[in-house]
Amino acid sequence: MVKDNSCKHIAIIMDGNGRWAKKRGMPRTFGHKKGAENVVNITRAMKESGVKYLTLYAFSTENWQRSEDEVKALMDLLREYLDKEFKEIMDNNVKLVFIGERYMLSDDIREKIEYLEKTSKDNSDLTLCIALSYGSRHEIVNATKNIAKAYANREISLDDITFDLISNNLYTRDIPDPDILIRTSGEQRISNYLLWQLAYTELFFTNTLWPDFNKDELMAIIEQFNNRERRYGKN
Ligand code: FPP
């Protein structure tokens, strides 16, 4: 079987904003602000790279447990990012999608993301998927409930429960599994991110803190990926 080994999807855990700020004697929220600016830089670099999907972990279901001030600062940054960057997103033919537990978001953010998804849905150069209030175990529980309901209603049989059926019940149903996962800041964990989708993904960990992660490092990782041999469990 001939496999197309080119990279189609990069997923990133943008870690290290707090430490980046602390090193400069600044509050954590300053690090998040720089981190949000870097989302713009890396999205531009991705478009140049020709990779079609970028998924960014902006806020996890666990992040709701951070201090009220920090959660508010992150949500305000997100509002600002969505308002400020949407023109560039549309001008660059970028499709915006959001994955996560939407019911936990405030009404104004939920309405905003629904509007942005609808407006950008026919764009096709790059899909920018923002994981917001996202937790992979929540996603898998939701998918399991949907499948159980379909089984209970006799819409499907046990034999219909396949890898594809599960994938198609996840928030990422329209997105191929990531080829590359990057986590910045030296931590080597998955942190409840895309657990099902990362089954065969190549993992890259860098000590660079997210606000300092740049296009050169991104391109070097894509280059390394191109030189890795993926065997998908075969020899
Ligand atoms: C991890 O750094 C980062 C986050 C929890 C949030 C990531 C958010 C952004 C980059 C900004 C907003 C995003 C968008 C899409 C506008 P940390 O706070 O855990 O850093 P630390 O581990 O050094 O404390």
Name the more confident of 235 and 175: 175
**Is the four-CA dihedral 144, 176, 219, 212 of positive or negative sign?**
negative
- The predicted structure's pLDDT at residue 161: 98
Kindly state if the Cβ of 85 falls inside 6 Å of ligand 1.
Answer: no
φ, ψ of residue 217 to 5 degrees: the values are -70, -40
Is 174 annotated in the active site?
A: no
Res 43 pLDDT > 80: yes
pLDDT at 104 over 90: yes
**2 CA distance to ligand 1 middle (Å):** 39
pLDDT above 70 as % of the chain: 98
> CA 85 → CA 12, 20, 88, 96, 224, distances in Å?
19, 23, 5, 11, 30
61 lines ligand 1 (CB under 6 A): no
In the chain the first and final C-alpha atoms are separated, in Å, by: 14
Q: Are 112 and 132 in contact (CB under 8 A)?
A: no
Side chain identity, residue 11: A
* pLDDT band of 1, cuts 50, 70, 90: very low
The rounded distance, in Å, linking the Cα atoms of 101 and 78 is 16
For residue range 112-142, what is the model confidence (pLDDT) as tens digits? 999 999 999 999 999 999 999 999 999 999 9
The three state secondary structure string of 49-79 is HCCCEEEEEEEEHHHHHCCHHHHHHHHHHHH
CB 7 near ligand 1, within 6 Å: no
Residues 202, 222 contacting (CB under 8 angstroms): no
Ligand 1 centroid – CA 172 distance (Å): 21
**Would the CA dihedral through 139, 143, 149, 152 be positive or negative?**
negative
Residue 3 has pLDDT above 70, yes or no: no
pLDDT tens-digit series, residues 24-34 = 999 999 999 99
From residue 90, alpha-carbon distances to 127, 132, 162, 207 in Å are 11, 20, 36, 33
* Residue 2 pLDDT greater than 50, yes or no: no
Q: What is the CA radius of gyration of the chain?
A: 18
Q: How confident is the model at residue 229 (pLDDT cuts 50, 70, 90)?
A: confident
Residue 177 scores a pLDDT above 80: yes
217: Cβ contacts below 8 Å, ≥ 6 apart: 206, 208
**Is 50 exceeded by the pLDDT of residue 107?**
yes
- CB neighbour list of residue 204: distance below 8 Å, 6 or more residues apart: 180, 181, 182, 183, 221, 224, 225
Helices (H), 121-209: 136-152, 163-167
Distance, C-alpha 222 to centroid of its chain: 17
Mutate to test the pocket of ligand 1, among 13, 15, 112 (most ligand atoms within 8 A of CB): 15
* 15 counts as catalytic: yes
> For residue range 211-222, what is the model confidence (pLDDT) as tens digits?
999 999 999 999
d(C-alpha 20, C-alpha 33), whole Å: 11
5: pLDDT confidence band, cut at 50, 70 and 90? confident
Residue 4's pLDDT band, with cuts at 50, 70 and 90, is low
Q: How confident is the model at residue 71 (pLDDT cuts 50, 70, 90)?
A: very high
- Res 178: pLDDT: 98
- Inform me whether the pLDDT recorded for 234 exceeds 90: no
Please give the pLDDT value at position 201: 97
pLDDT at 126: 98
**What's residue 111's pLDDT?**
97
Q: In this structure, which residue's CA is closest to atom 12 in ligand 1?
A: 36
Tokens standing for 97? Answer: 């999608």
Q: Is 15 in the pocket of ligand 1 (CB under 6 A)?
A: yes
Mean pLDDT over all residues of the chain? 96
